[in-house]
Amino acid sequence: MNFVKTIGFNVFSDDLSKIPLRNGSCRVINTISPNSYGITTRDKEFNQALKNTDFLVLDGVYFAFSSLLLQGKNIKANQGPDVFYHFMDRVEEEKGRAFFLGSTTETLAKMESRTRKEYASINFDSFSPPFKPDFSEGDNQIMTEKINEFKPDVLFVGMTCPKQEKWAIQHYKTLDAGLIVCIGNVFDWYAGTQKAIRPFWFKIKLAWFIRIFMRPEIFRRNIGNQMKFFWHVLLIFLKLKKYD
């Protein structure tokens, strides 16, 4: 498998097909983007969660700007929707088990309805955790028990960044699952509760631009994180800053 290390993060740069569904122990797939990099600069737990991720994939192709500028290496893009559909297809092929953790009961119900139509061979279950900034020990125990009773090949987690990434790293050692895949907003896109961005825009690397018009509040909230990423990369290139 090919990985590219850039500004302190070891990013998976290969075909998702090389990641086995089960490999003895539970492993974690998280994504990194300019926005998530910006969050890591002020959230040490999130920073460590991404660095301790088994397969940190490129979500938001512009994070590859760092490796292109600093090392002359590109990183293969494996964006959120691509990751979700790839592993859903593989679970379908193997007549395996998938678990959806996160979001609302309404969104999960719509995801389940679509899954029944499009992935008839998948055995699936879901759980909507309480909506709160931090889970209690009781909350975590309930989630862990439900997942372990089901024993999914793939556990999809949609709790928004950075909550989902930190939760996955905190709990993967106690979970009977092949892979934990944190994909955030893809839950809403798949359920149809938010309008999905057409694949064409991802292909030409302008999905972020379309999302500005679809969700301007997201752009306003994230622009500071994104600008911090590009500023830090420039400072590192000029040897005015070192990365951790």
223, part of any domain: no
213, part of any domain: no
Q: Using CA atoms, how far apart are residues 159 and 165, in angstroms rounded to an integer?
A: 9
Divide the 244 residues of the chain into consecutive groups of 10 and give the mean pLDDT of each group.
96 97 94 94 97 93 91 91 95 98 96 97 97 94 98 96 96 98 91 74 61 59 83 93 78
Check: CB of residue 136 under 8 Å from CB of residue 130.
no
239, part of any domain: no
101, part of any domain: yes
Check: CB of residue 237 under 8 Å from CB of residue 69.
yes
For 223, residues 6+ apart whose C-beta sits below 8 A from its C-beta are: none
User: What order of strands is seen across the sheet that includes strand 55-58?
Assistant: 3-6, 9-12, 55-58, 27-32, 179-182, 154-158, 97-102, 123-127
10, part of any domain: no
233, part of any domain: no
Nearest partner of 146 among 170, 126, 120, 174, judged by Cα: 126
Which residue range is the domain that position 27 belongs to? 17-201
Per the DSSP assignment, residues forming a β-bridge with 11 are 4, 56
209, part of any domain: no
Structural domain count of the chain: 1
Check: CB of residue 110 under 8 Å from CB of residue 192.
yes
Q: What is the pLDDT of residue 243?
A: 77
